[in-house]
Amino acid sequence: MNEIICRVNGRNTSFTVQGIKRLLDVLREDLGLTAAKEGCGEGECGACSVLMNGKLVNSCLVPAAAVHGADILTLEGLRETDRGRCIIEAFSDAGAVQCGFCTPGMVMAAEALLEENPEPSAEEIRLALSGNLCRCTGYDMLVKGVGLAAERGKGLW
């Protein structure tokens, strides 16, 4: 059994890992952070996306032991920031939300994109969301939602 120490949403956090455990399990089961969803468990759908040291990762593919010393940001942390609120509001106003199961991952992907590129084109947005599957929207309104966040959130990124 290993003790893992990391930062989750800005707080020092420690947990123990027994056997094979994924970051997604730690977040959802040990820490009660259920915004990240399990859609496929194999890194294809992106519903479990979180930021690890600022990089977008599929938390279902990250072994819990690998987050020792890392900085993890989930939607529970992002939504308490101006950036998070801006993306959530923009998604809501753009009609980007349908069943909502992919949306937390999409919000995290949007944050990762805007951090790198605060004024993305529609093509750049499509590329940035391409690791996250959505079966409801056909992506158009998600793309608009990210664009709206960039437009409204000038200076935040």
Partner 1 sequence: MAQVVMMNDTISSSVRRVDAVEKAGGYARYIADISFDQLYYGKLIRTAVARGYIESIDLPEMPSEYRFFSVDDIPPGGENRIEMIKSDWPVFTNHEVRYCGQTIGILVGPDRQTLCSLAEKISVSYREEVPAMSIEEGLSCLGGPIHGDDNLYADYRLEKGDADAAFRKADRIIEDVIETGFQEHVYLEPQGITAEFRGGKLIFHASCQCPYYIRKAVAPSSALDPDDIIVNQVTTGGAFGGKEHFPDIIASALGIAVLSLKKPVQVLFERREDMLWTPKRHPSQVFFRTALDQQGRILAMDIDARINAGAYESCSCIVLQRAIFSVNSVYDIPNVRIRGRAVATNTVPSDAFRGFGAPQGIFAAEMHMSHVARETGADASDFKRGYILSKGGKTVTNGTVHEEVKLESMWETVSRESGYYEKMRKYPKGSYRGIGTSWYLHGGGFTGSGEKEIINGRVQLRGYADGSAEILLSNVEMGQGTATTFRKIAGKVLGLPIEKVLFQNPSTARVPDSGPTVASRSIMVVGRLVERAAEELKQRWDRKSEEHAEAVYEHPPWVKWDQQTLQGDAYPSFSWGICVVELAVDPVTLEVETKGVWAVHEIGRAIDEAIVHGQVAGGIIQALGYGAMENLEVKDGRFFQHTLSDYIIPTSLDFPEVHSFLEENPYEYGPFGAKGLGELVFDGAAAAFADAVEHALDRRVSRIPVTPEYIMELITDE
Summarize as ranges the residues that interact with partner 1 (CB under 8 A). Answer: 19, 28, 34-42, 44-45, 47, 74-76, 79, 84, 87-89, 91-93, 95-104, 107, 122, 125-127, 129-143
Cβ proximity to partner 1, 70 vs 75, nearer residue: 75
Cβ proximity to partner 1, 52 vs 86, nearer residue: 86
Closest CB 106 distance from partner 1, rounded Å: 8
Cβ proximity to partner 1, 59 vs 137, nearer residue: 137
Closest CB 102 distance from partner 1, rounded Å: 5
Closest CB 8 distance from partner 1, rounded Å: 14
Cβ proximity to partner 1, 39 vs 69, nearer residue: 39
Spatial separation of the C-alpha atoms in residues 5 and 116, rounded to whole Å? 27
Residue positions counted in the chain: 157
Side chain identity at residue 19, one-letter code? G
Residue among 149, 147, 145, 142 at smallest CA distance from 46? 142
Closest CB 69 distance from partner 1, rounded Å: 25
Q: What are phi and psi of 41, to 5 degrees?
A: 70, 15
Closest CB 49 distance from partner 1, rounded Å: 11
Spatial separation of the C-alpha atoms in residues 65 and 4, rounded to whole Å? 6
- List the beta bridge partners of residue 72: 8, 52
User: How many beta carbons lie within 10 A of that of residue 29, not counting itself?
Assistant: 12
Cβ proximity to partner 1, 10 vs 69, nearer residue: 10
Spatial separation of the C-alpha atoms in residues 4 and 14, rounded to whole Å? 5
